[in-house]
Structure 1
Amino acid sequence: MDNQNKNMILATALSFLVILGWFLLFPPEEPPVQPERPVAESTAQATQDGIAIAPPAGGTAATAPLASPVEARSAALTASARLTIDTPELKGSIALTGGRLDDIALKDYRDTIEPDSPNVTLLSPVGGAHAYYALYGWAPGAGLTFEQVPGAETPWSLVSGDKLTPNSPVTLQWDNGAGLTFQRVISVDDQYLFTVTQSVTNTGEAAQRLAPYGIVARHGEPELTNFFILHEGVVRMSDGTLEEIEYGDMPDLEYVDREAARAEIIDVAANGWIGFTDKYWMTALMPAPGQNFLSVAKYVANADIYQTETRLPTQTVEPGQTVEVQTFLFAGAKEWETIKHYEQDLGFEGFVDSIDWGWFFFLTKPIFQLLHFLNGIIGNMGWSIIVLTLIIKALVLPLAWKSYSSMAKMKELQPEMEKLKERCGDDKQKMQQEMMALYKKEKVNPASGCLPILLQIPIFFSLYKVIFVTIELRHAPWFGWIRDLSAPDPSSILNLFGLLPWGVPEVGSIFAIVSLGILPIFLGISMWLQQKLNPAPTDQTQAMIFAWMPWIFMFMLGSFASGLVLYWIANNVITFSQQYFIMRTHGFKPDILGNILSGFKKKAGATKE
């Protein structure tokens, strides 16, 4: 391996270390909890077919702060009559005031790995902390006022159904007293998809024009993971184009209306959806496939409300006529199988891309699909990661064979390299020329050893992305003390891996870096052993850096997800085995133990001197 290639690898490794070190030593600050502000009725002044779209974002008054978020949420839930939601995946309620879906928890997911931990709360009502809800209604045309169409404070009546389940839809109704009767039929499947059918019947004497809409609103910026490889915020699909908008960018959106709301509006011709995505959860408005609509991302500055909206075309309702519009709402976990079903079977284009696959999506997607397939057979994500590593290493074996063969030859040339170094002294140019002549004579290509390393970098980042963003790894156990492959190894050398009675530093703290668990220690050892098979750099500075690299990586990756560390250990062990076997087939017999003992003897001798 010539100096240029060594420098390239060294620069890549050091850059990776710098990035890791920065985010471990200086993690992003936790966002402050946003206090509930008085909620104003926001009005977007964009028009569609000449009708102002002005859906209210929430109630008209703030709830006084209570002793705790739990009490505030409880009080907000009792502020309106409610209709129970009960499905295999969801539990919660619908507020009859406004007909809002504002109380949803996920039955299969808990906040922590403890079995008695609370279920994950997705949607919350206005008045509690972090209000987050879906709202539907109609925007008035000429001759109508907002008081004559349903909005955030409309007192809906229950017409049919006493509980929303997959087998029992519910029907809400409201008569405006001026010739228009509105109905809303809400149904839900056994996963996370709500169907909302809005209708209006004109019993008056004149035609009326109205525009149906849907809103998902969040009061204040939510608590974020705040990691650079993850998108949290608006996600939308517009006729095949995926767009992501961070919360921090929404106050700078292009369009500004009279209410100081900033918005970005896209005219979707046939297929699209829009909503808010968290790391594992999402709430998205989904017009029926083939439906044209306006897709709106909006920030209401005076109320600190983030909104996504779908504004459907204006409907003309003649006297005696009923007009009906059907839309959908996804509110749940971003499970790959579930959202793939909604995309492929129900026609919601690009819905699987709501998972943040990242720049290497062409690798991330197939890696996840293979991992998901293996987990379906094995039933354990930890063992599935190990089998996945075996498969990946088998696929790159032809490249590895050529690389390790070259390394074996270079290892055999090590004595010759030492002689060259003694003969050339400090003349680096002469040393380089002599090395190239030796490589040419022995038919060794020093650059061939770089290819597997370079190929492994995008695979590593793709697998890291899979482990970090996909919900299938969340709270997935391996065995023993590894109960969550998406979290760091909970064991620690500071308490002798649980043998001593005291605790360990909190994850994310500076002290957690030195609180090495069992997996990170095995990672360092596996990298160190693998390094013993590689030819040592002739440059002393490079040799020292490479010698320290396994232990630096051990500390740097100690706070990474256990699943990723497990992959790297498996990769190192398999790589070591492959390289050892290939080098022996070429006549070189690595003496690992001898090399280690020899290294210790040299260090001991240097210390005595």
Structure 2
Amino acid sequence: MDWQRYTLLGGIAAVVLALIYQWNDFQERRAPIPDRETVVREELPTSSPATQTRADNDVPQLEAQSDTAAGKSDAQRKLISVTTDVFDLLIDPRGGDIVKVALRRYEEELHTPDRPLILLNQTRDHTYIAQSGLIGQNGTDSAAGRPLFTVAETKYALKEGQDTLTVDLTLKQGETDITKRFTFHRGDYLIDVTYLVDNRSSEAWSAAMFGQIKRDDQEPPVDVGIGVSPFLGAAMHTTEENYFKQDFEDIAEKPTRETVEGGWVAMVQHYFLSAWIPPQDERNTFELRQLSGGLYRMGFTSPPVAIAPGNQGTLSAAFYAGPKDVYRLEEISPYLDLTVDYGWLWWIAKPLFGVLHFIQSHIASNWGWAIILLTVFIKALLFPLSAAGTKSMARMRKFAPQMKKLQEQYKDNRQKLAEETMKLYRREKINPMGGCLPIMLQMPVFIALYWMLTETVELRHAPWIFWIHDLSAKDPYFILPALMGLSMWFMQKLNPQPTDPTQARIMQLMPVMMTFFFLWFPAGLVLYWIANNLITIAQTWYINKQVDAGKV
């Protein structure tokens, strides 16, 4: 009996969902806990400078650079702590490198306010740091060593009512005084890095500034769904491509070197990035290269700056470490916003994000309701085309008995059956392909929306209602995917069923298959699909009534 079959299928589905839930919980509990403790390392490789290749050097080299190192090894040096409203940051006085960046406004995991997300860090088993220095004739950094700066304090904090925080590291180079200045701004993830050079010697001073991101290929933990892996690697602006990206394997296989006006170089991961932005009015050289020890270098070198005797000068760049905020990245440098990678359907995804952002900012402060309103907007935009397809499907459903009669009458004459079927289609204005049109229209939007939602950092840990505390992650109880499958099944019942038994069976299995795939999709995307199905159901029900009544 039918009730027994449905009861059995429901029981099997419940058992499968319970097993998936337990497996998911097991996977989360056995995930390794990353090492968060920052360590001090010496930047000199174990090999001597004389035997190092150019690719192995910790800093880039100019053609005429000498190997004069500054400072002695000091493994016990104390790191400089900087706290702002957005950063918990550590600076190594050896070289003035940024060796840790924790983003205070982003939790490492949901409901862990005491554990901010660590973007950059140097631990026992992980390296991701931002280095900068001076190279060339009077450079302070070389293959032989890095300078050891002095600092007035080891702890700095942005105080209430203070908009900027300045941290100065000083170095005496003969008769030349060098100050490496970090300037932090309230509410901003862009850090100004400036070298102030006071040349009190009797000879001209010359050096070029470099900035680089040094990182291993360790992947950060992500949770964006089955079969999906966000891009992890380097990106830069080149003369031929506004957004050129290489993963670590590509960099190891083929190093890249480009000289462009302005430009930038970035390390991109899911939701976040770090980037060096040199002066935009100079021709800077960028390089992506693999180093020894499993490390990679993504950096720039600016043209040398000459400072006459008795004069002062500056060399500067900016370093960004924070979320993929598309509007802020647009302001920092041309094409830097392309690191928010919407895929090949970016021309659909970017306007969709603009509409979603507008809805969330001006209509619905909750991102979940904003997604639902975006769905209504998309359905209204596509209604004239989708309604035509829905009407055609409704007519096919209305005249299905006549079509079945024709199939029985001409079951032994396929040519005559085709002719009579086409006559029926023309007479009743039925388009057999009309039902495919709504699906064909939705698929590019669905794919673009998928990439938009998976790249939108604003959705990370953004709650909706009840048990949905993170729209960027999968539903922890798989309730939304089950509702999506149920809505898809009900939507099928409103449309004509295929006459071929095999096609009919496949269509019956589609809700089950889609539910399985959607189990690991971001909750925000599943929410969109549920809203889309419910609107489609209402639209189909209304048009079916109109067709049955002969009004359309």
TM over 0.5: yes
Unaligned runs of 5+ in 1: 1-23, 62-75, 254-262, 492-516, 590-609
The answer on whether the counterparts of 2:184 and 2:190 sit within 8 Å (CA) in structure 1 is: yes
Which of residues 320, 337, 340 is equivalent to 1:330? 320
Kept after mapping to 2: 8 A contact 1:156/1:173? yes
**Are 2:458 and 1:472 aligned?**
yes
Matched with 2:13 is: none
CA distance in 1, matches of 2:343, 2:199: 49
- Aligned-CA RMSD value: 3.3
Q: 2: distance between equivalents of 1:52 and 1:471?
A: 42
Match of 2:179 in 1: 183
Matches of residues 438-477 of structure 1 in structure 2 within 5 Å?
438-477=424-463
Q: Give the Cα–Cα distance (whole angstroms) in 2 for the partners of residues 372 and 330 of structure 1.
A: 23
**Alignment CA distance shift 1:354-1:31 (3 Å):** farther
Q: Tell me, in whole angstroms, the C-alpha distance in 2 between the residues paired with 1:356 and 1:55.
A: 42
Unaligned runs of 5+ in 2: 1-23, 46-52
**Structure 1 CA distance, aligned partners of 2:67 and 2:392?**
69
Q: Please, which moves more after superposition, 38-47 or 196-205?
A: 38-47
Task: Give 1:317 deviation, angstroms.
Answer: 3.0
1:217, distance to aligned residue in structure 2 (A): 0.8
Partners of 1:181 and 1:201 within 8 A in 2: yes
Deviation at 1:488, TM superposition (A): 1.4
Separation of aligned partners in 2, 1:430 and 1:320 = 100
Is the Cα–Cα contact under 8 Å of residues 136 and 304 in structure 2 kept in the other structure?
Answer: no
Question: In the aligned structure 2, how far is the partner of 1:52 from the partner of 1:452?
Answer: 64
Report the Cα distance in structure 2 between the residues aligned to 1:275 and 1:451, rounded to whole angstroms: 41
TM-score by length of 2: 0.82
What one-letter code is carried by the residue in structure 2 that aligns with 1:245?
A: Q
Amino acid of the structure 2 residue aligned with 1:288: P
**1:266, distance to aligned residue in structure 2 (A):** 0.9
Give the % identical residues: 31
Aligned to 1:553: 514
Which segment drifts farther, 377-386 or 432-441?
432-441
SS at match of 1:124: strand
Q: Give the CA deviation at 1:472.
A: 1.0
The match for 1:536 is 497
Q: Equivalent residue of 2:344, what SS?
A: coil
Q: 2:540 aligns with which of 561, 571, 579?
A: 579
Q: Deviations over 1:165-204 (max 9, x none)?
A: 3423122111133x43322111011220100111333333
Query: How far off its partner does 1:318 sit?
Result: 2.8
Deviation of 1:423 after TM superposition, in Å, equals: 2.1
1:69-95 deviation digits (Å, cap 9, x = unpaired): xxxxxxx9x943232211111112212
Please list, as runs of the form range in 1=range in 2, the aligned pairs for 1:56-455 lying within 5 A after superposition. 79-116=76-113, 118-125=115-122, 127-141=123-137, 153-158=146-151, 163=156, 165=158, 166-177=163-174, 179-190=175-186, 191-223=188-220, 225=222, 228=228, 230-238=230-238, 241-253=242-254, 263-269=255-261, 271-300=262-291, 302-336=292-326, 340-344=327-331, 346=332, 348-376=333-361, 377-425=363-411, 427-455=413-441
Residue 500 of structure 1 corresponds to: none
Deviation digits for residues 356-375 of structure 1 (CA, Å, limit 9, x no counterpart): 11111011111112112222
- Structure 1 residue runs of 4+, over 6 Å off? 30-34, 36-39, 45-49, 53-56, 146-152
State the AA in 2 paired with 1:237: H
What TM-score, normalized by structure 1, do the two folds share? 0.75
Distance apart, 1:160 and its partner CA: 8.4
Which of these residues, 446, 450, 472, is aligned with residue 486 of structure 1?
472
The answer to whether the 8 Å contact 1:91/1:105 transfers is yes
CA distance in 2: counterparts of 1:447 and 1:488, whole angstroms:
34
Offset of 1:295 from its aligned partner?
1.4
Report if the CA contact (8 A) 2:217-2:248 is conserved: no
Listed as ranges, the matches of 1:498-513 within 5 Å are none
C-alpha deviations, 1:106-147, integer Å up to 9, x for none?
A: 11111211245511111213x533121111111123xx5x76
Assess, with a 3 A threshold, how the Cα gap between structure 1 residues 55 and 379 changes in structure 2: closer, same or farther: farther
C-alpha distance in 2 between matches for 1:60 and 1:588: 91
